């Protein structure tokens, strides 16, 4: 593999997704180098506690607590810490220094996406976040690129894996919400603060990101109507079942046109009754599905794993390869 240029990758965070990203970079180094035309060198992994247990065994010398220094020495920064700070500051520093940034941080992108995109644009860097919505499912790139020439009217789907897991287990196996939540947590689906999932905040963040890209406009997360699943009881699920329905937490974003020709966007997240013969009723466990309706393309459906360490890492790696290729083309 001599002759390849080295690209230094700084990884911020080593939770269930970060550990899988590090594993994939190390395990598939030669294959990725051949595909990209540059070698991805994992320069370091910034964490709070170097000695904390990890999902994957990784060389100890890669770990550092000095995230700022790692950012300064990286060509591409992968941010998987989650939360707003220090992620926002570190990403801004990375972009201002000319590094490309890949993140899965939906909370940050939903709240500060426009500001970070502008910081990237100013220096010609790339900010990508495919993994922030529906984990392994390629949905943001299709919306932004493949459908760029079409007129999208509606984006609708199941975009939270853990609430889908909980509702699905309650519906199909009669599990209690508590038991299903515990397993969802063990599978790495739930956020560190599960309220974000069960109260619909996570789905609302994803609805904001989807709507902003689909409708080429800023859709603040506060503008998304939000209801979670904590009020849903086993009795309601059984009653829905007897009537031929299943309860799913849906995120819906649609373009509205007023009589005077002006446009707006409506975005909402709420538990909805879905007929059992609808394709969304067959989205089980931690899977997600997103329907896109576009004027010329008609109805498209994207389906796959919506949560999980390796599954989310797959989307992060896709963005990483895309960013790395820019260095080769540009370099």
- Which residue is closest to ligand HSE by CB? 162
Cα of 29 vs its chain's centroid, Å: 24
C-beta closer to ligand HSE: residue 44 or 113: 113
Does 202 bind ligand HSE (CB under 6 A)? Our answer is yes
Write the CB contacts of 203 (distance below 8 Å, at least 6 apart in sequence).
Answer: 159, 160, 163, 226, 249, 251, 269
Site mask for ligand HSE (CB under 6 A), range 3-32, x = bound: ------------------------------
Write the CB contacts of 65 (distance below 8 Å, at least 6 apart in sequence).
Answer: 46, 47, 48, 49, 50
Ranges within 224-263 binding ligand HSE (CB under 6 A):
none
Q: How far is the CB of 17 from ligand HSE (least distance, A)?
A: 9
Site mask for ligand HSE (CB under 6 A), range 281-300, x = bound: --------------------
Q: How many Å apart are CA 58 and CA 247, to the nearest integer?
A: 41
Catalytic residue annotation: 206
Give the helix/strand (H/E) hosting 167: helix 161-173
Does 207 bind ligand HSE (CB under 6 A)? Our answer is no
DSSP annotation of 249: E
Which of 197, 254, 285, 319 touches ligand HSE by CB under 6 A?
197
| 273 closest CA partner among 232, 219, 313 | 232
Ranges within 150-169 binding ligand HSE (CB under 6 A):
160-162
Q: How many Å apart are CA 273 and CA 289, to the nearest integer?
A: 16
- Burial class for 243, CB neighbours closer than 10 Å (0-12, 13-18, 19+): exposed
Which of 100, 168, 191, 199 touches ligand HSE by CB under 6 A?
191
C-beta closer to ligand HSE: residue 197 or 293: 197
Measuring CA to CA, how many Å separate 143 from each of 22, 64, 128? Answer: 28, 37, 13
Piece of the chain touching ligand HSE by CB under 6 A; list 3-11, 80-88, 118-126, 184-192:
184-192
Does 309 bind ligand HSE (CB under 6 A)? Our answer is no
Q: How far is the CB of 32 from ligand HSE (least distance, A)?
A: 24
Number of residues that bind ligand HSE (CB under 6 A): 11
Strands 63-64, 38-46: pairing kind: parallel
Q: How far is the CB of 106 from ligand HSE (least distance, A)?
A: 6
Ranges within 83-142 binding ligand HSE (CB under 6 A):
135
Q: How many Å apart are CA 108 and CA 106, to the nearest integer?
A: 5
C-beta closer to ligand HSE: residue 274 or 324: 274
- Judged by the rule CB under 6 A, the positions of this chain that interact with ligand HSE are 135, 160-162, 189-191, 197, 202, 306-307
């Amino acid at each position: 593999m001599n002759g390849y240029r080295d690209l230094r990758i700084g990884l911020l965070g080593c939770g269930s997704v970060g550990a899988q990203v590090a594993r994939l970079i190390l395990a598939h180094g030669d294959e990725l180098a051949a595909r990209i035309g540059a070698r991805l060198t994992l320069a370091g992994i910034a964490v709070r506690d170097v000695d904390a247990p990890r999902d994957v065994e990784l060389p100890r010398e890669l770990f550092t607590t000095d995230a700022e220094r790692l950012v300064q020495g990286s060509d591409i920064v992968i941010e998987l810490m989650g939360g707003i700070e220090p992620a926002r500051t570190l990403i801004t520093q990375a972009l201002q220094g000319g590094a490309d940034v890949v993140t899965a941080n939906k909370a940050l992108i939903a709240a500060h996406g426009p500001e970070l995109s502008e910081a990237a644009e100013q220096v010609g860097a790339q900010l990508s976040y495919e993994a922030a919505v529906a984990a392994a499912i390629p949905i943001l790139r299709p919306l932004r690129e493949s459908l760029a020439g079409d007129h999208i009217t509606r984006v609708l789907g199941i975009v939270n894996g853990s609430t889908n897991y909980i509702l699905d287990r309650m519906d199909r196996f009669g599990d209690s919400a508590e038991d299903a939540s515990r397993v969802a947590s063990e599978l790495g689906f739930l956020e560190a603060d599960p309220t974000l999932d069960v109260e619909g905040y996570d789905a609302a963040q994803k609805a904001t990101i989807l709507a902003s890209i689909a409708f080429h406009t800023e859709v603040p997360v506060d503008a998304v109507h939000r209801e979670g699943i904590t009020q849903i009881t086993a009795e309601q699920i059984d009653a829905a079942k007897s009537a031929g329905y299943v309860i799913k937490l849906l995120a819906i974003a649609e373009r509205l046109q007023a009589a005077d020709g002006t446009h707006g966007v409506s975005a909402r997240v709420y538990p909805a009754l879905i007929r059992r013969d609808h394709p969304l009723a067959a989205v089980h466990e931690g899977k997600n599905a997103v329907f896109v309706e576009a004027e010329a393309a008609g109805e498209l459906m994207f389906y796959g794993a919506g949560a999980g360490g390796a599954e989310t890492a797959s989307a992060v790696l896709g963005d990483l390869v895309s960013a790395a290729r820019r260095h080769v083309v540009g370099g």
